[in-house]
Structures are given as C-alpha cells and as structure tokens.
C-alpha cells in the first residue's frame, strides 16, 4: 500500500491543503480537481501512480480542506486560484511536472501552462475543456445566463447545482453501472458546498467561468507551438463536457492520445482501472522515472 500524506502549506497567507504521495525524486504529476469536489476525487488514482511518480493533489481555495475566506475577504477568480496553485508549486520546489486537469482544474492548468510553459512536461485532460466544442448546452445555458446577468431571475438555476441531487446527477449520469459509484462522493461534496458562505464562493466562480473560453485561442496556440504530449481520457456519457471536447485536441495536437470510455463526468469513480491503465502507459511513454521504465 502507498502512503498518502495529508499536508497544508501557507501560500500568500492562506492555508492550502494537499495530498502527496510517491518518491520525492520521481517525476511530479500534479492533479487538479474540478467542481464541486476536492483532491479526494484522486484518492484511488494516487495509489495507482505513486509507485513510480511523485503525485501532488491540492484542494483549491474554498474547496475541501483548504482555507475558505469569504467573498468579502478574497476575490474568487480562476486567475486567483492559479496564482495560489503556482505559489504552492514554488513552495514545494516543483519546477517541472505533468498535470492532470478535470473540470475547474482545466482553466487553472491552462493558466499555469501559459504563465510558465516550460514547466509542463505532459497533460492529461479528463473532462477538461480547451475548446468551445464540448460544452453541453443543457447544462451550460443556465451558467452563461447567470454570468451575463446575475440576479433573482438567473441565480436559482445555478444555485440548484449545489443541491445534493444535482451533485448526485453529476456522478451518476452516463455511468453504465451506477452501483460502482460510492454515494459518499456526492454526500461529502454536498456537505462541503453547504458550509456557511461556500455557496457565495461557488457563485463567484460560476460568474467568473466566462473568462475561460476567451483564453482558448492562446491555449490552442500553446498546444501548436509546444506540441506538448497530451492524453484526453473522457467519459463518453459526460453531459457537462461532452466527448467533442476530447476529440477537439487533435486539431492542434495531432499526436494526442484520445480515449472515450464508458462513464460520465467523474470517470475515476467507475472506470479507475481502465483509466489508470491508459494514464500509466501515457506517463511511461512521456516521462522518465527514477525506477527504470514505467509500465
């Protein structure tokens, strides 16, 4: 069994929680979680990778066990979360890494890559969009409407995304065998977003989400210039970021590895073995390790 350490670092005066496992001298894999969860979504993947890689999974500010200043104390934007993530990497002395991005983790990861492109050795995207393709209108129309005109007419629909049934929907939709998904996932996520003041944090980030698609041309230019190794591994049944978001990577990265698996938005909950097999293979082909040739 792999030991996973649960640690906290102070970054810009704020406490950032992170999970860490694997040999200190091994190549680093940075795991960036999405909404509405935390680094807990990587608990089993970390065990599958930490024999050969130094795996780091932070909780974004306002999520999981990281600090949760109010919206009056901190301006929650994807730019701000990126600055904190970059600060954590600097604190840990990490200057080269592969990154795994999912959902909210993607716009944070893309900003990291644009700020310091030489630090990114490889990318794994799992329901992490970098193209306009893939946004499923039935989910996103309410977000766009709220971001464009926040108020009593548009806010109830997005507040609904914080309810336990909506979070359960995220976990189970598109999953061939829903019995594989641990109900603790949506129960714990709901408990986290139900903390006093957290709804306002989530609403702020939903409003700020409109800053992400305008970055896509720069991200795509980064892909074309760098030809960074990329694995897109996606739930074919994801009704938030559809499979078109995965296949779009091939436009700028012809060598991208793209796999659509039977599953949904939180693919690791129901297809861990298949996903981790592709991930280990991809990392083995793109990263050198201190333990010989990865498998």
Catalytic residues: 265
Whole-angstrom CA distances from 8 to 53, 104, 248 are 20, 21, 36
Cis peptide before 59 (omega within 30 of 0): no
d(CA 43, CA 19): 9
Whole-angstrom CA distances from 260 to 71, 237, 247, 285, 293 are 37, 9, 9, 20, 26
d(CA 172, CA 19): 25
DSSP assigned state of 102: -
Give the β-pairing of 14-21 and 54-58. Answer: antiparallel
Q: Give the pair of three-digit tokens for residue 212.
A: 């992400």
């Amino acid at each position: 069994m792999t030991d996973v350490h649960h640690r906290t670092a102070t970054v810009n005066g704020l406490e950032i929680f992170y999970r860490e496992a694997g040999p200190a001298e091994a190549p680093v894999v940075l795991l960036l979680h999405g909404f509405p969860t935390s680094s807990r979504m990587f608990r089993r993947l970390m065990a599958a990778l930490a024999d050969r890689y130094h795996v780091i999974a932070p909780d974004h500010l306002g999520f999981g066990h990281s600090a949760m200043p109010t919206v009056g104390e901190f301006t929650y934007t994807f730019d701000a979360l990126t600055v904190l993530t970059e600060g954590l990497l600097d604190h840990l002395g990490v200057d080269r890494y592969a990154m795994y991005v999912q959902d909210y983790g993607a716009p944070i990861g893309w900003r990291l890559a644009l700020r310091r492109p030489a630090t990114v050795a490889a990318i794994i995207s799992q329901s992490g969009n970098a193209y306009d393709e893939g946004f499923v209108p039935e989910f996103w129309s309410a977000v766009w409407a709220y971001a464009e005109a926040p108020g009593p007419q548009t806010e109830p629909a997005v507040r609904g995304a914080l309810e336990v049934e909506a979070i359960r929907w995220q976990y189970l939709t598109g999953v061939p065998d829903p019995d594989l998904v641990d109900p603790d996932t949506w129960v714990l996520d709901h408990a986290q977003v139900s903390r006093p003041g957290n709804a306002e944090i989530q609403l702020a980030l939903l409003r700020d989400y409109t800053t992400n698609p305008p970055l896509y041309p720069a991200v795509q230019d980064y892909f074309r210039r760098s030809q960074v190794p990329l694995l897109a591994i996606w739930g074919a049944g994801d009704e938030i970021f559809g499979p078109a978001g995965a296949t779009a990577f091939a436009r700028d990265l012809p060598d991208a590895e793209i796999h659509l698996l039977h599953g949904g938005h939180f693919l690791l909950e129901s297809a861990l073995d298949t996903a981790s097999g592709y991930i280990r293979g991809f990392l083995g082909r793109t990263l050198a390790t201190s333990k010989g040739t990865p498998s």
